Amino acid sequence: MKIRKKEDNFLPAPSYADDSTEVSMRCYHWGKCKHEPSATYEGGEITVFDEVELSGISIFELDRMM
């Protein structure tokens, strides 16, 4: 698993093979999601993790990483 630099958070996810069990995961924390007039995220931070193995991630790992 790789954590992106903050300035790279809005780049597209890397290309994964069709049979890959890895994903990119975007975590929003300490801010507020607003849905009107359009969907926005205000305040807080965004952390992006690439090459996350689906079978090996747990809520405890997420908590430790953030």
pTM: 0.68
Task: Please give the mean pLDDT across all residues of the chain.
Answer: 84
Please give the residue range of the domain that contains residue 50: 22-66
Q: CA 49 to CA 19: how far, in whole Å?
A: 19
Q: CA 14 to CA 24: how far, in whole Å?
A: 8
Residue 36 falls within a domain, yes or no?
yes
More confident residue, 32 or 20: 20
Residue 2 falls within a domain, yes or no?
no
**pLDDT reported for residue 65:** 65
Residue 28 falls within a domain, yes or no?
yes
Helix (H) or strand (E) holding 32: strand 32-34
The predicted model gives 18-29 an average pLDDT of 87
Domain count for the chain: 1
